[in-house]
Every structure is written in structure tokens, then in C-alpha cells.
Amino acid sequence: MSPDEAIARVAFNGDGLVPAVIQQHDTGEVLMLAWMDAEALRRTLTTGRVTFWSRSRGEYWRKGDTSGHVQYVRGVRLDCDGDTLLVTVDQIGAACHTGDRTCFDGVDLTPVVGLP
């Protein structure tokens, strides 16, 4: 499938964006969530490096260009509804802007809601 054919299958939201869940390819560790538009997805599919659309800055950013914490693409999958991407990567360094390995090292909400 060509990049254009792949992009045509994505159900972008009203802002032209799709959430991308980023996962370490060999451990299954969920690293982060960010947003892509069609061009960010095209760049991701054609360069082998993950590119996102920054909603706050209004510009593209390729993971690792300033931090050195690069994400090399291992796979890109579309969910059953076509509205979420799962991008498997080889993460070099921290994935989170805080310097943590993953953005999901924060507060565990399970005890708060009383789940076992």
C-alpha cells in the first residue's frame, strides 16, 4: 500500500488530526500519545522517523530533532474504526518531554476509583 492509500484510510477528526499511540516495539510499553495530520503521517511513513503535529505550537515536530530522543518507526497500524494510529517504534532515550522513559509514569488512578 502506498502512503497516499494508507492516509486515505484514516478517519481524521474535524481538525484534520488523528491520535497516535506510540509503543515500544519489543516490550509493548506504551510511551506516549500525540497527534498527526495527513502530512505528519506521510512523513512518518516515508522517512522512518516519527513526525507529529503540535497543536500548541501549530507546527510539525520530529521526535528527537532537539532532544536526541529519537523514535525509529517499526510499524504503523490503524484501529478498526480508522480513527486512531498505533505506531510501534524503537525509542532511543526518553519519550516524554519531562525526561521520563514514558509519559505514563505519572499518578496511578486505580486506587482513587476503587478498582482492584
pLDDT > 70: percent of the chain:
96
The percent of the chain in helix, strand and coil, each rounded to the nearest 5, is 15, 35, 50
pLDDT reported for residue 108? 77
pLDDT attached to residue 109: 74
Condensed to tens digits (0 to 9), the pLDDT of residues 34-46 reads 999 999 999 999 9
Inside any domain, residue 101: no
Residue 21, domain extent = 3-94
Q: Is the pLDDT of residue 76 over 80?
A: yes
pLDDT exceeds 70 at position 14: yes
User: Could you tell me if residue 81 is inside a domain?
Assistant: yes
pLDDT at 116: 63
Q: Is residue 58, in this structure, part of any structural domain at all?
A: yes
**Domains in the chain, number:** 1
The cell numbers describing 17, all together, are: 488530526
CATH number for position 29: 3.10.20.810
Whether 60 is in a domain gets the answer: yes
